[in-house]
Amino acid sequence: MVTGDRYLDMTDLTVSVTDGIAVLTLNRPQRRNAYTAEMGLSLSSAYRQCDDDDAVRAIVVTGAGDAFCAGADFSGDTNPFDAPDGGGGFTAAPIDPAAFELRTPVIAAVNGHAIGIGLTIALQADIRIMAEFAKYAVAQVRRGVIADCMSHWTLPHLVGSAVAADILLTGRTFDGAEALAMGIATRTLLGPHVLGHAMAVARDIAANTAPMSVALSKRLLWDTLINGYTPRQVAELETQLHRRVMGSADAREGVEAFLQHRAPRWSASVSSAWKPLPAPDHREQP
């Protein structure tokens, strides 16, 4: 099911938008949502469309049935790890844009097993709610290839290089409790409760946070990691971004709603008013 004519008709992914929340569901439950190229294209398209839609305040990615994504699909006539014809069409980053490249918050509701690309897709999200007793692995080195979806970058930033080496170089399996202890999971719950909690987080974002403020904060968070900004460069950018929003209608509304003990009524349009973050001018002294 796809809700809204602005979203393309997709088979391996369903999209529904309700009350400011887009739920993107990996939809091959008979194969535990094993990843296909079509699924990757659909997820990329849905990310782009949601990020340009002011009606979408938060994105939740989950899996149909009792798994999130069991990894690459090996059920077809061809091996997904065979060399592509000519080698030119292959990319190890098939989700484009990645979740962390959006302005909209992305919550991965990892409701069950997430193996290989199933887990590396989830690693690109801002927040991960994960099933406590499911199995997780970045197992590509055990299949004769290497990890994908920029996980050699996302994992070290989440867990540090030593733990990332353990996960990436062994391809071993771990459970939700270990994922939480390592810093991969934001929170773990029993599988049937994962999506409900992720939706509660998304509803809180959609109702209570200013859309432009969240978009700017997310971009500053991830751009800092991507570009390696120093603390003083971040301070400069925080100052510049404060100047963008201070005195705005939403800045006034946020204070008034707080003082009047009521829900805020936000008015900013990220899709029409967005300006990319500036590059910091500050240079650290040697």
Q: Tell me whether residue 8 is in a domain.
A: no
Which parts of the chain register pLDDT below 50?
Answer: 1-4, 286
Report pLDDT for 84.
61
DSSP designation for 28: -
Q: Which of 190, 206, 222 is the last residue of a domain?
A: 206
- The verdict on 23 and 47 lying in the same domain is yes
- The verdict on 200 and 60 lying in the same domain is yes
Measured CA to CA, the distance from residue 69 to residue 245 in angstroms comes to 39
Q: Tell me whether residue 1 is in a domain.
A: no
- The verdict on 235 and 153 lying in the same domain is no
Q: Tell me whether residue 55 is in a domain.
A: yes
H-run or E-run covering 150: none
Could you identify the residue written with the tokens 């014809």?
85
Structural domain of residue 154, as residue ranges? 13-206
pLDDT per position as a tens digit, 139-166: 999 999 999 999 999 999 999 999 999 9
Q: Tell me whether residue 261 is in a domain.
A: yes
Please report which residue ranges of the chain form alpha helices under DSSP H. 37-51, 117-122, 151-159, 161-170, 176-182, 191-208, 211-227, 231-245, 249-259, 270-273
Q: What domain count does the chain have?
A: 2
- The verdict on 59 and 175 lying in the same domain is yes
Contact 168, 155 (CB under 8 A): yes
Q: Is the pTM value of this prediction over 0.75?
A: yes
Q: Which of 179, 206, 233 is the last residue of a domain?
A: 206
Q: Which residues are CB-contacts of 185 (< 8 A; sequence separation ≥ 6)?
A: 110, 128, 129, 130, 176, 179
Measured CA to CA, the distance from residue 53 to residue 276 in angstroms comes to 17
H-run or E-run covering 84: none
Token pair belonging to 57: 């305040």
Q: Rounded to 5 degrees, what are φ and ψ at 127? A: -135, 140
Report pLDDT for 10.
74
- Rounded to 10 degrees, the C-alpha dihedral 202/224/119/172 comes to -140
Q: Tell me whether residue 3 is in a domain.
A: no
Cβ-based neighbour number of residue 19 at 10 Å: 12
Q: What is the CA radius of gyration of the chain?
A: 20
Q: Tell me whether residue 279 is in a domain.
A: no
- The verdict on 63 and 168 lying in the same domain is yes
- The verdict on 74 and 169 lying in the same domain is yes
- The verdict on 237 and 202 lying in the same domain is no
Mean model confidence pLDDT for the chain: 94
Q: Tell me whether residue 6 is in a domain.
A: no
- The verdict on 194 and 71 lying in the same domain is yes
- The verdict on 50 and 21 lying in the same domain is yes
Measured CA to CA, the distance from residue 165 to residue 101 in angstroms comes to 24
- The verdict on 145 and 242 lying in the same domain is no
Q: Which of 157, 173, 206 is the last residue of a domain?
A: 206
- The verdict on 171 and 264 lying in the same domain is no
What is the domain-level CATH number for residue 227? 1.10.12.10
Angle between helices 211-227 and 231-245 (to 10 degrees): 160
Q: Tell me whether residue 58 is in a domain.
A: yes
Q: Rounded to 5 degrees, what are φ and ψ at 265? A: -120, 95
- The verdict on 132 and 234 lying in the same domain is no
What is the domain-level CATH number for residue 87? 3.90.226.10
pLDDT per position as a tens digit, 183-227: 999 999 999 999 999 999 999 999 999 999 999 999 999 999 999
Q: Which residues are CB-contacts of 131 (< 8 A; sequence separation ≥ 6)?
A: 68, 110, 111, 112, 176, 188, 189, 190, 191, 194
